[in-house]
Amino acid sequence: MIQIKVADVGDLIVQNKFYLDIYSEMPNTNYPEVGQYWRVLVTFKSQFTGKSKTVSASTTYLYKERYIAMGVWTTREANQENLLEGVIQLGTTDFPLGFYDATLYENNDNLNLDTTGLPIIWRGLMNMTGDGYNRKGPVEYTEYTTNDADTESIYLTN
């Protein structure tokens, strides 16, 4: 599972790194030059809304026999999003905190965000949470300090 954090509030950008042992799953070896590799594409699909986004993750192959290091930067501000540079807007109404289906693709060009025809190298789960600096959860609860005399009522909350 991939863990991603997004800033609780404001226009902060949060750096997120994750490491997966997936080099052996990459079928293509036609990289542009020796020692240079393409950035991995990552599609995050919200399990809550069903909406998805694809981002080009920074990718490091230094220890490729053990793992590939990838990174994305998360923001809540639309004007900061740059999917080719690895900055993705999450933590919004369309892309809320919670679970996502994550699909990683072996890319064929660092200027490409289209996953059509690209080999899938990993499928899994991503959990997105707030960064915790605000110390508030996604929902604020109000404690009731008085007891209602009507004990037969049922209150539905959303």
Averaged pLDDT in 10-residue chunks for the chain of 158 residues: 86 91 79 67 95 94 89 92 94 92 92 93 93 60 62 61
92 burial type by CB count under 10 A (0-12 exposed, 13-18 middle, 19+ buried): middle
**What pLDDT sits at residue 11?**
74
Q: What is the pLDDT of residue 121?
A: 93
Q: What is residue 134's predicted lDDT score, i.e. its pLDDT?
A: 58
- Predicted confidence at residue 26, as pLDDT, reads 84
pTM: 0.78
In 8-150 the beta strands, taken as DSSP E runs, fall at 14-20, 40-46, 52-60, 68-75, 87-89, 98-105, 120-130
Residue 44's pLDDT is 97
pLDDT confidence of residue 29: 57
Residue 58 has a pLDDT of 93
Tokens at residue 42, please?
């990552």
Non-local (6+) Cβ contacts of 116 within 8 A are none
Where residue 10 falls (left for φ over 0; alpha for ψ -120 to 50; beta otherwise) is left
- Give the model's pLDDT for residue 108: 82
Using alpha carbons only, give the angle 21, 24, 29 rounded to the nearest 5 degrees. 125
Cα 154 to Cα 45, 147, 150, 157, distances in angstroms: 35, 14, 10, 10
* pLDDT of 116: 94
pLDDT at 152: 65
CA 47, chain centre distance (Å): 12
Between the alpha carbon of residue 110 and those of residues 36, 153, 155, the distances in Å are 11, 59, 53
13, 80 contact by CB (below 8 A): yes
